[in-house]
């Protein structure tokens, strides 16, 4: 190399200066994604055979007009300009720009430089301060590389050979890795591969095998790395994820929509523990890809709640490079699925992202839910899956492939073309599509070409297990009617239309009339206001609505529908101003105990005498158990007061607590004679809700001892969770109008 050289013996003054430079050297993280991606301080032609390549690793254009390439002096470390980028130079995402040495014996590469310089760089050695850096037009440092003593360096710096040869140093991950440590980020010396702005010199990308992305465990071994993979499109997810925050504001997750890519069979590694498929997120033009397209994808490897994905760079779509037959699906081995560890589920994990097929499964977790999911277990055995059970083979079908990219996935009126519609115990044969992991379960993303056959082997439609109460019977039901909002009400990122309100009212009418057979008292939850509940009472005919406004920020309240002929006295709301125990946040009212305070009515009819019914909606599962326990204690104390006065009580509602949790234990703790009737229901039908493929009970009815000898029947009316939502009925259909199954108590003389 030509220019200044540091002698082998360095004076004590210079050594002190270099030590000071080491202590003062900054970490020069690129502020905009433009980095020095490759450089050479000595090449095959000698010391001046140099180049410095920069690279825009960001997702946006970067104007590099006026950027200057600087060198740090070998002796002092002082930076000085080598050359300046001309005005009007913009690097698009993925663009390179090449600086080359034009001096005597200079750059010998075949790829022409975009800008030249004539003063070279001293070899980066431990006993000097040599280095290169890039600054913007204002002089702010953008990136730097230097010797271990250079102020141009990041982190520990690097040392370049002092002998002639192709001594290039390149950033890892194709020029993208930037951890602010040159020693960690650069690999070399190696053969140079300079690239310029025109794309000349760009090598074919280094392809990472998909099985190396997936690895043998639950998480990718290269999470956080940017890779290029190549494979066959085996499926799409055509629905952007969404959730709702305060004020009903909608949050969207564009990475949830994309394509599934799988290695061609010839490229598979034949390792049964590693998957050959992966999901690619952030793909916006999903309609541009069809099954069988061979694509090249560049993106970062991420884990999203246990699902390995490649986050395709925004604004850069996967590149089509050919077509090929779609790989045959892997047939799910029911025995291996059942025998896998129930927590890690390594067998399913080994297939994550791959095209699979379930020969036959049974809907043992209820019918298709409101999210378009149907949970099944392999085989044909009819055996419900409960919350307290372990079922390692449980798997779902997912309907997102045919969602049609809805603006609001929670309010899409047209549903999905790939939804698998089935009732409890129906048989599902041939579900085919890529396997993904979401919300703690593995799912088959069923594609248009993989729709299964559903055989009606399940529960009988319509639900007709209740008969109208007779002259010597008195029926009390509890019904969470799920977001019964008026016209204009804000719901799931939109406002309820007249058509939507009318449909909901008609379906609740059918549910109450046809499925519940018009109970004498219906304790309701999740109703917006009294006017809304009165609309349902008018539609039913022969009922009166009762409701008091509570504290819930969304406006949902508890209330009653009471059949004509039932005498009602003492309509009382309890606990609207009750306070929570210190340190607990249980309500939308600061320090409050209830969002939906209990409402009680005293009723009598058919000679049953008087008793009090409480309608309750305890704090959601997102709140601490201690909140529901405190709410239960409050209700228990009110019941105790009534019992002390010689009165009987029924406590009903959505308690958001399982039968074995503290809220129910508190209600039954001996201060009253309250008894939960959950265990009085038929053993295989003790559930009111389905969550992540498990049947569970959130809705309860408890009675005091004065009514226990009147219990004629208790059951859960499973017209919601056991059935899919039918949208092709000529008349309003009450099945699946809510996500809760009503508990129903029949008192008999």
pLDDT in tens, 328-340: 999 999 999 999 9
Nearest to 398 by CA among 431, 429, 428, 426: 431
pLDDT mean over 539-559: 97
DSSP 19: H
pLDDT digits (tens, 9 = 90+) for 448-488: 999 999 999 999 999 999 999 999 999 999 999 999 999 99
Exposed e or buried b for every residue in 316-338, given b needs 16+ CB within 10 A? bbbeeeeeeebbebbebebebbb
Parallel/antiparallel/unpaired status of strands 649-654 and 611-617: parallel
| The pLDDT value given to residue 730 | 76
CA distance 169 to 157: 12
pLDDT digits (tens, 9 = 90+) for 663-678: 999 999 999 999 999 9
Strand residue runs (E) in 147-195: 168-171, 186-190
pLDDT digits (tens, 9 = 90+) for 186-241: 999 998 999 999 888 877 678 899 999 999 989 999 999 989 999 999 999 999 98
pTM for the model stands at 0.76
pLDDT digits (tens, 9 = 90+) for 585-597: 999 999 999 999 9
pLDDT digits (tens, 9 = 90+) for 599-612: 999 999 999 999 99
Ranking 1-15, 149-163, 500-514 by mean pLDDT, the lowest is 1-15
| The pLDDT value given to residue 199 | 85
pLDDT band at 313 (very low <50, low <70, confident <90, very high): low
* Residue 660 burial (10 A CB sphere; 0-12, 13-18, 19+): exposed
CA distance 113 to 716: 77
Query: Tokens in use for 587?
Result: 């309500």
pLDDT band at 731 (very low <50, low <70, confident <90, very high): confident
Whether the bond into 462 is cis, omega within 30 of 0: yes
pLDDT band at 250 (very low <50, low <70, confident <90, very high): confident
pLDDT higher than threshold 60 for residue 4: no
The secondary element (H helix, E strand) that includes residue 38 is strand 34-40
| The pLDDT value given to residue 12 | 36
DSSP 604: E
Indicate the average pLDDT of the chain. Answer: 92
Task: Please enumerate in sequence order all residues whose Cβ is within 8 A of that of 335, keeping only pairs 6 or more positions apart, or say none.
Answer: none
Distance of CA 610 to the CA centre of its chain: 50
| The pLDDT value given to residue 339 | 97
pLDDT higher than threshold 60 for residue 6: no
| The pLDDT value given to residue 727 | 79
> Do 179 and 24 form a contact (C-beta atoms < 8 A)?
no
Find tokens 């301080």 and name the residue. 41
CA distance 142 to 698: 57
| The pLDDT value given to residue 100 | 97
pLDDT higher than threshold 60 for residue 21: no
Nearest to 627 by CA among 598, 667, 593: 593
pLDDT mean over 114-127: 95
| The pLDDT value given to residue 319 | 87
pLDDT mean over 528-554: 98
DSSP 379: S
pLDDT band at 1 (very low <50, low <70, confident <90, very high): very low
Strand residue runs (E) in 10-111: 34-40, 51-56, 62-63, 68-72, 79-84, 90-91, 96-101
CA distance 4 to 80: 14
């Amino acid at each position: 190399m030509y220019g200044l050289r540091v002698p082998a013996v360095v004076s004590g003054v210079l050594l002190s200066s270099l030590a000071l430079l080491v202590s003062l050297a900054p970490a020069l993280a690129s502020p905009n994604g433009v980095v020095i991606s490759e450089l050479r301080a000595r090449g095959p032609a000698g010391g001046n055979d140099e180049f410095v390549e920069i690279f825009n690793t960001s997702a946006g254009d970067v104007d590099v007009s006026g950027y200057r390439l600087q060198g740090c002096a070998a002796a002092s470390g002082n930076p000085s300009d080598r050359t300046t980028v001309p005005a009007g130079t913009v690097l698009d995402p993925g663009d390179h720009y090449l600086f080359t040495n034009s001096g005597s014996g200079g750059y010998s590469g075949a790829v022409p430089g975009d800008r030249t310089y004539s003063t070279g760089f001293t070899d980066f050695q431990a006993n000097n301060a040599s280095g290169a850096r890039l600054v913007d037009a204002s002089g702010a440092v953008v990136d730097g590389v230097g010797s271990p003593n250079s102020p141009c360096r990041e982190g520990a710096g690097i040392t370049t050979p002092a002998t002639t040869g192709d001594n290039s140093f390149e950033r890892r991950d194709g020029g993208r890795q930037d951890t602010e440590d040159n020693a960690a980020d650069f690999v070399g010396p190696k053969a140079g591969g300079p690239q310029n702005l025109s794309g000349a010199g760009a090598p074919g990308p280094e392809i990472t095998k998909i099985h190396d992305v997936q690895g043998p465990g639950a998480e990718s071994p290269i999470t956080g790395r940017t890779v290029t993979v190549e494979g066959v499109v085996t499926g799409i997810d055509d629905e952007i994820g969404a959730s709702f925050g305060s004020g009903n504001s909608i949050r969207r997750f564009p990475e949830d929509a994309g394509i599934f890519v799988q290695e061609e069979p010839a490229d598979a590694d034949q390792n049964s523990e590693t998957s050959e498929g992966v999901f690619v997120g952030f793909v916006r033009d999903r309609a541009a890809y069809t099954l069988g397209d061979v694509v090249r994808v560049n993106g970062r490897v991420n884990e999203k709640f246990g699902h390995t994905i490649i986050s395709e760079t925004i604004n850069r779509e996967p590149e089509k490079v050919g077509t090929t037959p779609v790989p045959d699906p892997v047939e799910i081995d029911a025995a291996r699925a059942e025998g896998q560890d129930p927590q890690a589920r390594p067998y399913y994990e080994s297939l994550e992202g791959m095209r699979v097929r379930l020969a036959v499964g049974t809907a043992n977790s209820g019918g298709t839910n409101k999210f378009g999911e149907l949970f099944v277990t392999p085989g044909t055995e009819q055996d419900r899956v409960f919350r307290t059970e372990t079922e390692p083979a449980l798997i779902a079908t997912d309907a997102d492939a045919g969602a049609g990219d809805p603006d609001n996935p929670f309010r899409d009126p047209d549903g999905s073309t790939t939804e698998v519609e089935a009732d409890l115990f129906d048989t599902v044969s041939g579900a085919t599509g890529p396997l993904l992991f979401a919300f703690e379960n593995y799912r088959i993303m069923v594609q248009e070409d993989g729709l299964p056959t559903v055989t009606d082997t399940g529960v009988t439609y319509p639900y007709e297990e209740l008969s109208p109460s007779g002259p010597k019977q008195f029926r009390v039901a509890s019904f969470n009617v799920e977001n019964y909002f008026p016209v204009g009400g804000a719901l799931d990122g939109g406002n309820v239309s007249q058509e939507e309100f009318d449909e909901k009212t008609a379906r609740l009418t059918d549910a109450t009339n046809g499925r519940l057979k018009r109970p004498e008292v219906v304790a309701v939850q999740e109703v917006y206001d009294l006017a809304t509940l009165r609309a349902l009472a008018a539609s039913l005919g022969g009922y009166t609505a009762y409701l008091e406004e509570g504290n819930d920020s969304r406006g949902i309240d508890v209330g009653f529908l009471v059949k004509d002929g039932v005498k009602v006295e003492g309509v009382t709301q309890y606990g609207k101003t009750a306070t929570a125990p210190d340190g607990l946040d249980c309500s939308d009212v600061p320090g409050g105990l209830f969002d939906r305070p209990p409402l009680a009515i005293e009723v009598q009819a058919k000679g049953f005498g008087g008793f009090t019914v409480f309608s309750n909606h305890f704090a959601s599962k997102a709140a601490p158990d201690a909140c529901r326990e405190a709410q239960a204690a409050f209700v228990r104390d009110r019941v105790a007061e009534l019992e002390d006065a010689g009165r009987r009580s029924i406590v009903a509602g959505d308690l958001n607590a399982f039968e074995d949790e503290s809220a129910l234990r508190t209600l039954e703790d001996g201060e009253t004679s309250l008894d939960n009737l959950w265990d009085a229901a038929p053993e295989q039908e003790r559930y009111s809700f389905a969550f992540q493929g498990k049947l569970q009970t959130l809705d309860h009815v408890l009675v005091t001892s004065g009514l226990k000898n009147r219990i004629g029947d208790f059951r859960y009316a499973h017209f919601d969770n056991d059935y899919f939502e039918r949208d092709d009925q000529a008349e309003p259909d009450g099945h699946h109008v809510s996500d809760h199954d009503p508990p129903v108590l029949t008192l008999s003389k």
